[in-house]
Amino acid sequence: MGATKKIWTAMDVAASQAKQSNNNNNNNNSTVDDSIPYSPRSIDTALSFPVMVPRVIELCKDLFGKWVKLDDSCFSVKTVSGGITNLLLKVSVKEENGDEVAVTVRLYGPNTEYVINRQRELLAIKYLSAAGFGAKLLGVFGNGMVQSFINARTLTPSDMRKPKLVAEIAKQLHRFHEVEIPGSKEPQLWVDIFKFFEKASALRFENIDKQKIYEAISFKEVHREVTQLKELTGLLNAPVVFAHNDLLSGNLMLNDEHDKLYFIDFEYGSYNYRGFDIGNHFNEYAGYDCDYSLYPSKDEQYHFFRHYLLPEKPYEVSENDLEALYVETNTFMLASHLYWALWALIQARMSPIDFDYLGYFFLRYNEYQRQKKMCFSLAQSHLSRSGTA
């Protein structure tokens, strides 16, 4: 669920960002990489587009010396996507030698600077882009970043399950999970879920109808579910990797001409259980309408697993390895429902976006309840066969 942004890292991120912008009065962004241009400028996302455009051009000139002398008429600025959270602009530039180049300028929305761990994201982008993932980081500024423009189309949920693309996504995810990002390698799943739980269970809504709906939730029950699932997944000895954590169709882009697939948007990236990343991706087959009948069948999942486990020899993956990853993924898939369900409750209270987040909580929590029995017994019988439980 990547529609909006996280809440819980608010204060420490804000503090570290404030410190960073005070320290960065030169053209270096020392906390990310000295070679990445930095500008202390910020651009208010509330500005009207015509007022914003010259400031975006100024910013680009400030970041990239080779554009300083270009006339403003050499720049064209368009909106790629934008809401109240991030605003993504495409800046096309006609350079002195006649070349046309394009970059994206991402302006963090007014609240996101308090809700996303931008330092973690920037660090991940640096290492992931060095490994060939996503757009290249070209510059960082007061409230955003500049990246290379990717010439590709965004996938739809139904694209995502086409066998050829499934194989490619699985293969790339295998490589993605091999990237090493400096810093703590502790899996974040349960840390995040318990943080979400603390916040989500202590909310109060001004809107009476919302408050009533909220009061119908039994947090005692939710807590029990979280604890039970944490215990069960703990028995699986699941590998920990640097995970994307939000691999939905909107975060996959494809250049059809060159047959090149891109993973984008690493805002939620962290060290995490690989089964979570895969199970979370499978949950996204449900698409924008959350139609969980579209969850991939066992055969479809095995197709993914073959290409994930042995990209070069997918048909040599053993039955045992397929079965083990099936169990791992479908147990962590439950955690993805709990994660986004609790996240949605916080969003319901905090987000300025007009979206039925409370309804989304129930969609995810009810689907968790519906799948729980089957997934628990799958994991338990696997564990008893392997002598772990």
Ligand X SMILES: Nc1ncnc2c1ncn2[C@@H]1O[C@H](COP(=O)(O)OP(=O)(O)OP(=O)(O)O)[C@@H](O)[C@H]1O
Per CB under 6 A, residues contacting ligand X are 2-3, 80-81, 85-86, 88, 104, 135, 147, 149-150, 154, 250-251, 264-265, 267
> For tokens 């986004």, what's the residue?
340
- The set of residues, in sequence order, having a beta carbon less than 8 Å from that of 1 and lying 6+ positions away, is 246, 248, 340, 343, 344, 360
> For tokens 């905090």, what's the residue?
350
In the complex, the smallest distance separating the C-beta of residue 1 from ligand X, rounded to whole angstroms, is 9
> For tokens 């209270």, what's the residue?
349
142 or 250: whose CB is closer to ligand X?
250
231 or 256: whose CB is closer to ligand X?
256
In a 3-state reduction of DSSP, which class is residue 145?
Answer: strand
250 or 269: whose CB is closer to ligand X?
250
In the complex, the smallest distance separating the C-beta of residue 168 from ligand X, rounded to whole angstroms, is 18
Q: Which of these, 332, 355, 220, lies nearest to 282 by C-alpha position?
A: 332
In the complex, the smallest distance separating the C-beta of residue 95 from ligand X, rounded to whole angstroms, is 19
45 or 251: whose CB is closer to ligand X?
251
In a 3-state reduction of DSSP, which class is residue 94?
Answer: strand
Strand residue runs (E) in 44-99: 75-82, 87-94
Q: Which of these, 258, 232, 254, lies nearest to 327 by C-alpha position?
A: 232
In the complex, the smallest distance separating the C-beta of residue 125 from ligand X, rounded to whole angstroms, is 11
In a 3-state reduction of DSSP, which class is residue 138?
Answer: strand
> For tokens 């962290």, what's the residue?
270
In the complex, the smallest distance separating the C-beta of residue 45 from ligand X, rounded to whole angstroms, is 11
222 or 253: whose CB is closer to ligand X?
253
104 or 233: whose CB is closer to ligand X?
104
Closest residue to ligand X using C-beta atoms: 86
In a 3-state reduction of DSSP, which class is residue 363?
Answer: helix
In the complex, the smallest distance separating the C-beta of residue 169 from ligand X, rounded to whole angstroms, is 15
Q: Which of these, 269, 274, 270, 283, lies nearest to 333 by C-alpha position?
A: 283
In the complex, the smallest distance separating the C-beta of residue 100 from ligand X, rounded to whole angstroms, is 15
Strands 100-107, 137-141: pairing kind: unpaired
1 or 278: whose CB is closer to ligand X?
1
